[in-house]
Amino acid sequence: MIIKNGTLITSDKTFQADLLIVDEKIARVDANLDAPGHQVLDASGKLILPGGVDPHTHFDLPMFGTVSSDDHYTGTKAAAFGGTTTVIDFVSLDFPTLSESVKAWREKSAKAAVDYAAHMNLTRFDEQIAAEIARLPEQGIASLKVFTAYNNRLRLDDGSIFRALRIAKDLGMLVLLHAENGDVIETLTAEALAAGRAEPIWHARTRPAWGAVEATLRACALAAQADAPIYIVHMNAAGEVDMLRYARERGVRAMGETCPQYLFFTEDDLMRPDGAKWICSPPVRSAADNARLWQGLTDGTLQTVGTDHCPFFFDGTKPILYEGKPVAIPGKELGRGDFTKIPNGLPGVQDRLPVLWTAGVGSGRLTPQQFVALTSTNPAKIFGLYPRKGALLPGSDADIVLWDPNKKVRYGVALSHQRTDYNLYEGWELTGYPEKVFLRGRLIVDGEKWLGGAGQGQFLPRQTSGEFL
């Protein structure tokens, strides 16, 4: 196929060129290409972007007696409709060994409809686990995730995190860190419940922003002492951006990610009658935090925008139709009357690119090149997928989005293919939307037509020694 007459947008430039696709790859990028016998797609008036790379997704994740409502097929189908063609999921340490956990994840993720990779959750640490980390790269996994919250479930002590950082450094791996203060959260949660404060707003009030700020600086300090890189996930507070900038200015190899929910929503949303829809961890904060995060994206302090996609039904007692079949999965109603029982997580894997284009590029906050860098190229570089992913270069996978910058849509659950019963952006007027999406040269989304299928995604073994940006 030749895609002609489009405007290509990469992380560093915008230019007119044609694309020649041969055997799932981009074969040539040049003006006025001609290849007799090839199908020609006229992209006049359209933008051509590399497929989005979402570095932070959770599919089929058990939580609070239920499971997130998107599995590896439904979630990746939704990703494709939003212009994302690569996702990075997490392997939960649910078995005695890392290898057993990876094997179980590989089996359930094989239904993915776009290409996919994985981080390894490191939620236990002992000598056996420490020794086994070295075998992860040969299984295609080049990053570890650690937590400073979720006491007695996911959290590691600082000494174990420090050791993990040093092991990862020696292997060329990257450590991701969830930054909150688990001890403060435990204390405040117990006090809130004892006082009868169980509404959704108390989810945020028991997880104060100062805990995230302190934990971010502590993480950067541990990384500095280990002489290792670190990547702070889902940054949500203004002070976190300040701490990241402080560390980077002093030579710490620290990088940061934020998510759309932290750019648009605040604690006020948790006070709505349907406030449970906005419960995620860490929580959404304030308008001042929103503004500082936007500034961090604009000035390069933050490197990526992921989603932390982990949806649940708002009311899982009422089925929705998905691909013509009724589906009901217990969801946020499980915590009615007790915020600690509301499953933590939001839908977002489809929403990311359309919403960020309108609010970022459309408003002038971001250039089109920054948009591509934050949502595609930078995640691919950091996580060892570039230039196979995140690029419009000869030899790159032909993961291509034809973007209509003038298309206007009234967004919401009616346009969303995320398998849940609500959308955070219900009724938002968006300008700019994917028209066609190609995965390795195959058209999988054509307007509102789904041409893809379960299992067409490929597992992506990732390179160690990804780039520090």
Element (H, E) at 25: strand 25-30
Q: How far is residue 419's CA from residue 182's CA, in Å, rounded to a whole number?
A: 31
pLDDT of residue 35: 78
Specify the amino acid at residue 300.
Answer: G
Q: How far is residue 69's CA from residue 244's CA, in Å, rounded to a whole number?
A: 33
DSSP of 333-344, one letter per residue? GGGTT-GGGSPP
pLDDT of residue 288: 98
- Are 294 and 361 in contact, with CB atoms under 8 Å apart? no
- Are 111 and 455 in contact, with CB atoms under 8 Å apart? yes
User: How many CA atoms lie less than 13 Å away from 88 in the CB half-sphere?
Assistant: 30
Q: How far is residue 218's CA from residue 146's CA, in Å, rounded to a whole number?
A: 13
Q: Which pairs from 324-331 meet CB under 8 Å and 24+ separation?
A: 327/69, 327/419, 329/66, 329/67, 329/69, 330/65, 330/66, 331/66, 331/69, 331/420, 331/421
By three-state DSSP, how is residue 40 classified? strand
- Are 409 and 425 in contact, with CB atoms under 8 Å apart? no
By three-state DSSP, how is residue 253 classified? coil
255, β-bridge pairs: 231
Q: How far is residue 466's CA from residue 469's CA, in Å, rounded to a whole number?
A: 9
Region at 455 (left for phi over 0; alpha for psi -120 to 50; beta for the rest): left
Specify the amino acid at residue 284.
Answer: V
Element (H, E) at 317: none
Pairing of β 304-305 and β 320-322? unpaired
Q: How far is residue 347's CA from residue 88's CA, in Å, rounded to a whole number?
A: 15
Q: How far is residue 189's CA from residue 299's CA, in Å, rounded to a whole number?
A: 36
Q: How many helices (H) and strands (E) does the chain have?
A: 14, 21
Domains defined along the chain, listed by start: 2-50+387-418+426-450 (2.30.40.10), 52-382 (3.20.20.140)
Q: How far is residue 91's CA from residue 94's CA, in Å, rounded to a whole number?
A: 8
Cis bond before residue 36 (omega within 30° of 0): no
By three-state DSSP, how is residue 176 classified? strand
Q: How far is residue 373's CA from residue 50's CA, in Å, rounded to a whole number?
A: 10
- A 10 A CB-CB count for 248 gives 16
Residue matched to tokens 């996580």? 383
Specify the amino acid at residue 249.
Answer: E
Q: Which of 157, 285, 290, 148 is nearest to 214 (CA)?
A: 148
Helix segments in 110-181, DSSP class H: 127-132, 158-171
Q: How far is residue 105's CA from residue 59's CA, in Å, rounded to a whole number?
A: 10
Q: Which of 382, 376, 383, 384 is nearest to 437 (CA)?
A: 376
pLDDT of residue 36: 85
Q: Which of 105, 107, 109, 117 is nearest to 72 (CA)?
A: 109
Q: What is the residue-level pLDDT of the chain in tens, covering all 469 positions? A: 999 999 999 999 999 999 999 999 999 999 999 878 899 999 999 999 999 999 999 999 999 999 999 999 999 999 999 999 999 999 999 999 999 999 999 999 999 999 999 999 999 999 999 999 999 999 999 999 999 999 999 999 999 999 999 999 999 999 999 999 999 999 999 999 999 999 999 999 999 999 999 999 999 999 999 999 999 999 999 999 999 999 999 999 999 999 999 999 999 999 999 999 999 999 999 999 999 999 999 999 999 999 999 999 999 999 999 999 999 999 999 999 999 999 999 999 999 999 999 999 999 999 999 999 999 999 999 999 999 999 999 999 999 999 999 999 999 999 999 999 999 999 999 999 999 999 999 999 999 999 999 999 999 999 898 999 9
Residue 67 burial (CB < 10 Å; 0-12/13-18/19+)?
A: middle
Q: Which of 132, 142, 222, 130 is nearest to 174 (CA)?
A: 142
Q: How far is residue 35's CA from residue 386's CA, in Å, rounded to a whole number?
A: 27
Q: What is the pTM of this model?
A: 0.98
